[in-house]
Amino acid sequence: MKNVHLKTLLITIIINFVSCKAQQTVPLNTFLDDIPANAHVKDLNNELNPYIGIYKASYLGKEITLYITKVDDRLEERSNKNFYRDALVIKYIVKNSSGIVLQDTQNNANLNIELFSTRIRSYDNSVIFYYSGTNCGVGWGNVFLKKINATQISWLYEPDDLMILPGQCPGNPDLTIYLPETENPLIFTKQ
């Protein structure tokens, strides 16, 4: 009986050792094809930390507030592999000139709108974010944030096109994109 327990314990220890060794840590800007399955893409040089905070800007009569936080080991699910990435996550509130909230992802956890960092461009030190779009994915695309100084970041949103025909978007029919799309970068100020 002791032999059975000893063998079970030994097998458990070996499995745990092998599985721990299989979870590799790679730097933040590792190319997607070079990230092993179940790896941890880590912000080893704290490159994301300067962006953390609350930022505000006004554009076309709207006030936009960004809440930028850092999440360690955010699960990335891809068709060919899953891995974990340290990422910045943006929640936001957009208000009109009367102070009425047009869109709020800060306080509504059920809203299926995601805005998270995917990498840092080393040639201009900007962080690239994936934006899932508003209802039914309308406006999905990329947001580029660049640190200007200790209190300001620039914002550039590049939506991809997505055509939605009437009836294709069940539930909330509001297909408005509330994030600011500008020709030139929009400056946000840290609060």
Report the CATH number that the domain containing residue 137 is assigned in CATH. Answer: 2.40.128
Domain-located, residue 14: no
Contact status, residue 189 vs residue 55, Cβ threshold 8 Å = yes
Number of structural domains found in the chain: 1
Contact status, residue 30 vs residue 42, Cβ threshold 8 Å = no
pLDDT exceeds cutoff 90 at 7: no
- pLDDT of 110 reads 58
Domain-located, residue 106: yes
Domain-located, residue 5: no
- pLDDT of 123 reads 86
Dihedral sign, CA of 48, 180, 109, 101? positive
Domain-located, residue 11: no
150-182 per-position pLDDT tens digit = 999 999 999 987 667 767 787 766 788 899 999
Calculate what percentage of the chain has a pLDDT beyond 90.
64
Q: Check residues 1 and 39 and name the one with the higher pLDDT.
A: 39
Residue 97 belongs to domain spanning: 25-190
pLDDT exceeds cutoff 60 at 8: no
Q: 13 falls in which pLDDT band (50, 70, 90)?
A: very low
